[in-house]
Structure 1
Amino acid sequence: MVIESLLDTDLYKFSMMQVVLHQYPAAEVEYRFKCRTPGIDLVPCIEEIRAELTALCGLRFRADELDYLRGWRFIKSDFVDFLGLFQLNEKYVEIAPSPDVPGEIEIRIRGPWLHTIMFEVPLLAIVNEVYFRRTSAGLDLAEGRRRLHDKIAMLRDAPDYTLCRIADYGTRRRYSRRWQQEVVTTLRDELGAQLAGTSNVWLARELGLTPLGTLAHEYLQAHQALGPRLRDSQVAALEAWAKEYRGDLGIALSDVYGLDAFLRDFDMYFCKLFDGTRHDSGDPFAWGEKVLAHYRDNRVDPRNKVLVFSDGLDIPRVMQLYAHFRGRCQLAFGVGTNLTNDVGPAPINIVIKMIRCNGQPVAKLSDSPGKNMCEDPAYVAYLRQVFEIPATQG
């Protein structure tokens, strides 16, 4: 089995799911899979993916896993009680060859948000591991270990970088579960305090690390159909988050409508309320400078705020960003694919994104072209108009 525990997912799935249980239990959603890497034939993997999906849907949270979740300050007891009854249901998932593009597959997830939110991360991990199992069976991981040790040495041995800390964000596109476990174990043992933690809850528990994460794009996208008017959806999402966590998990995601639209909504109230912001598209240096200036304009000392960088990072990029921003704010770095799928064969860029909520199209218009997914061009045009997003963005 690729997935052996329902904890083998990212923390933000639990934090978002708790909000869904308490505030949007009746919401209905739809997600769609996309492989952004051209020329990848996933059709031969379908039957194995389906078998792994069936196995995933047979899992339940064990008593010791629930006790672990109950120990988190920000998790409420009724949510843990709900998880004790929770089980994924494969009736919500359709997997088939694409009728339009040879080699591509379609994965659609439709159903109650509360009962489908947990599919994304394990399904992506399954697709990745099945694909690499078929295309690189018997791969000698010595090259991956060599690359990993080089990265560790680059960060660990560099003068003036002892306070530069990274976190593992690589669950969704990992080469395999066992490889991610080896990578994070090695990082823990060789980086020490320079490893801040991991987004993977199962690994955090197994290895005694801090689980990290707050919210994802789907949370803000859903509010396009859940909030009051569309223009206020970003504010409604942040307000609902603050209502749920009362100061915990205070990192806001800034690129669902692009940074400029985010900053128009992220006023002095939110600047003071949230601990910081996360970068996930566009130029990270320009993004950081704009965010720091925005804090200053709102009479907030940036040195007390966190900038989280998590967009396609590798260790050299982490070090460049750290050198540029250190001393001006607090910094955090989430490194994903470059840590957990850098063993020789080229990784594949796969995503599962929410495309509908309560029957209405939802979308994000990030600061990076090619990251957006929506099946309704008219809705995208309307979204651009409402949030004053130029046509050149996204």
Structure 2
Amino acid sequence: MVDIASRVWNHKWKIDPIVRSLIDTDFYKLLMCQSVFRNKPETQVTFSLINRSKHIPLADLIDEGELREQLDHIRSLSLSRGESTWLRGNTFYGKRQMFRPDFMEWFEGLRLPPYHLERKGDQYELTFEGSWPEVMLWEIPALAVLMELRSRAVLDRMGRFELQVLYARGMTRVWEKIEALREIPDLSIADFGTRRRHSFLWQDWCVQAMQEGLGDAFTGTSNCKIAMSREVEAIGTNAHELPMVYAALAKDDAALAQAPYDVLQDWHDEHEGNLRIILPDTYGTKGFLDNAPDWLAGWTGIRVDSGDPAVAAQTAIDWWKSRGEDPSEKRVIFSDGLDVAKIKELHQQFAGKVKASFGWGTLLTNDFRGLVPDDALAPFSLVCKAVEANGSPTVKLSDNPNKAMGPQSEIDRYKRVFGVGDQAAQKVIV
């Protein structure tokens, strides 16, 4: 097992680059990339870094030269032969050859496109422009770089023994959480912590701890590289990016209202089984389900990613019942700001009503809260989103208005088109 504290103390980034591979990313990114490659390959997009936690002055903490070094290193990466073989030959979600030969040929030749980096006050403006299939693959590594460089900036001020104690405390915290989760019967939980992890080595350690501590209750990791090296399932389906871009491409209000369902029709044509998971909250869960075509009710389940998770799950249960489906046969994946207490609460509340699963993210792979002075390693909310598609702005409403993004005039239009009324604001944890 890697001695993380010693590695941090001795680290040289060329030995320990933050992003080590093009598949050091979330599995859903590759699934979505193949869908985009098939259906919208010529779409031009802009992705932008958005720091929701303005009190974290990233440009003061992170050296611009070091940030550029890490980003340039990512641009030098390409698939290794072993990674290509794994993607081409492995079974994912019970399906062999998940990735089509034409997509794999394209991916094997890919180098990520250029980036634009500029300091604005105490923050960085980081944007990526180009064809959608290429640019979208910047999101996860860009977030991982910023998160880990912030961690390194704090760790650089610590001595060798401080680091040993810090990681011992961090490991103890993770293990105590795992012990608490063991008490939950029929638990189904996966690691979703790539995008806001403390570091690659720490995420890898957390996955190994989950493997040993939870056994079959641990269903896999969203991180493809770790899934490959630790021989666990790669977990993930789709994200808000798809409906956001499809909606931005809509020519009028009628096409806009139809866009989220067009996304899932394209997905339906390509995937089945446990990959048919609806993410309904991009423009409001209730409105999405109220207007959904009947064929969507036959999908395997939904993922809850904003708002009150219990309310969203109950809304889905009521919808399935109204469409003649048995909710107890459906899967609900909870994935927003989870920690042990909330996982226990939701599992108890919905046991027997649905098949509850949990995608545990930042508070698995980046929970050093209270372990250093001034809480300088506390996780914060950093995202990298598509902000423009073919010249039109993107919009996300969410079930939590604190997560909404886009120009206000477009937000107002989307709320009208999708019938979004008053929403209860929730604190954005991560």
Q: Tell me, yes or no, if structure 1 residue 108 matches structure 2 residue 114.
A: no
Tell me how far 1:267 sits from its aligned partner.
3.4
Asked whether the 8 Å contact 2:243–2:259 carries over to 1, the reply is yes
Give the Cα separation in 1 of the matches to 2:351 and 2:272: 28
Give the Cα separation in 1 of the matches to 2:417 and 2:80: 46
Once the two structures are superposed, the pairs formed by residues 352-367 of structure 1 within 5 Å of their partners are: 352-367=384-399
Q: Which runs of 5+ in 2 are unaligned?
A: 1-16, 372-376, 426-430
Instruction: State the match for 2:102 in structure 1.
Output: 78
Question: Could you list the per-position Cα deviations for residues 151-192 of structure 1 after superposition, in whole angstroms to 9, with x for gaps in the alignment?
Answer: 011011x2xx23112111100111111111111111111111
Instruction: State the match for 1:313 in structure 2.
Output: 338
Instruction: State the match for 1:118 in structure 2.
Output: 137
Asked whether the 8 Å contact 1:267–1:298 carries over to 2, the reply is no
**Taking structure 1 as reference, are residues 24 and 248 closer, same or farther at Cα in structure 2, changes over 3 Å only?**
farther
1:39 alignment partner, one of 30, 55, 68: 55
Structure 1 counterpart of 2:243, which letter? Answer: L
Give the Cα separation in 2 of the matches to 1:310 and 1:33: 21
Give the Cα separation in 2 of the matches to 1:381 and 1:227: 16
Instruction: State the match for 2:4 in structure 1.
Output: none
Tell me how far 1:94 sits from its aligned partner.
1.1
Tell me how far 1:266 sits from its aligned partner.
2.6
Tell me how far 1:246 sits from its aligned partner.
4.7
Instruction: State the match for 1:12 in structure 2.
Output: 28
Give the Cα separation in 2 of the matches to 1:118 and 1:152: 31
1:27 alignment partner, one of 43, 46, 51: 43
Question: Could you list the per-position Cα deviations for residues 326-350 of structure 1 after superposition, in whole angstroms to 9, with x for gaps in the alignment?
Answer: 1111111001111100123211211
Give the Cα separation in 2 of the matches to 1:136 and 1:364: 35
Tell me how far 1:391 sits from its aligned partner.
5.4
Give the Cα separation in 1 of the matches to 2:47 and 2:284: 21
Question: Could you list the per-position Cα deviations for residues 263-315 of structure 1 after superposition, in whole angstroms to 9, with x for gaps in the alignment?
Answer: 1233321011x211100001111111111011011000111111010000001
Tell me how far 1:59 sits from its aligned partner.
0.4
**Match of 1:118, SS?**
helix
Give the Cα separation in 2 of the matches to 1:199 and 1:84: 21
Structure 2 counterpart of 1:371, which letter? Answer: K
Q: Which runs of 5+ in 1 are unaligned?
A: none
Give the Cα separation in 1 of the matches to 2:287 and 2:392: 21
Instruction: State the match for 1:380 in structure 2.
Output: 411
Deviates more, 1:70-79 or 1:208-217: 70-79
What TM-score comes out, normalization by structure 1 length? 0.94
Q: Tell me, yes or no, if structure 1 residue 346 matches structure 2 residue 378.
A: yes
2:146 alignment partner, one of 121, 127, 133: 127
Give the Cα separation in 2 of the matches to 1:59 and 1:94: 18
Asked whether the 8 Å contact 1:168–1:199 carries over to 2, the reply is yes
**Taking structure 1 as reference, are residues 251 and 392 closer, same or farther at Cα in structure 2, changes over 3 Å only?**
closer
Asked whether the 8 Å contact 2:249–2:392 carries over to 1, the reply is no
Asked whether the 8 Å contact 1:254–1:278 carries over to 2, the reply is yes
**Match of 2:402, SS?**
coil
Structure 2 counterpart of 1:88, which letter? Answer: L
**Match of 1:347, SS?**
coil
**Taking structure 1 as reference, are residues 144 and 96 closer, same or farther at Cα in structure 2, changes over 3 Å only?**
same
Give the Cα separation in 2 of the matches to 1:391 and 1:192: 43
**Taking structure 1 as reference, are residues 248 and 196 closer, same or farther at Cα in structure 2, changes over 3 Å only?**
closer
Instruction: State the match for 1:59 in structure 2.
Output: 77
Deviates more, 1:214-223 or 1:66-75: 66-75
**Taking structure 1 as reference, are residues 316 and 211 closer, same or farther at Cα in structure 2, changes over 3 Å only?**
same
**Match of 2:296, SS?**
helix
Asked whether the 8 Å contact 2:400–2:423 carries over to 1, the reply is no
Give the Cα separation in 2 of the matches to 1:327 and 1:304: 9
What TM-score comes out, normalization by structure 2 length? 0.86
Asked whether the 8 Å contact 2:49–2:383 carries over to 1, the reply is yes
Asked whether the 8 Å contact 1:94–1:107 carries over to 2, the reply is yes
Instruction: State the match for 2:428 in structure 1.
Output: none
Deviates more, 1:123-132 or 1:338-347: 338-347
Asked whether the 8 Å contact 2:23–2:225 carries over to 1, the reply is yes
**Taking structure 1 as reference, are residues 393 and 378 closer, same or farther at Cα in structure 2, changes over 3 Å only?**
farther
Instruction: State the match for 1:203 in structure 2.
Output: 226
Structure 1 counterpart of 2:129, which letter? Answer: R
Instruction: State the match for 2:314 in structure 1.
Output: 289
**Match of 2:385, SS?**
strand
**Match of 2:67, SS?**
helix
**Match of 1:141, SS?**
helix
1:181 alignment partner, one of 188, 199, 204: 204
Instruction: State the match for 2:297 in structure 1.
Output: 271
Matched residues, percent identical? 33
Once the two structures are superposed, the pairs formed by residues 106-255 of structure 1 within 5 Å of their partners are: 106-137=125-156, 138=158, 139=163, 140-156=166-182, 158=183, 161-226=184-249, 229-247=255-273, 249-255=275-281
**Match of 1:32, SS?**
strand
Instruction: State the match for 1:389 in structure 2.
Output: 420
Give the Cα separation in 1 of the matches to 2:424 and 2:340: 28
Tell me how far 1:227 sits from its aligned partner.
5.1
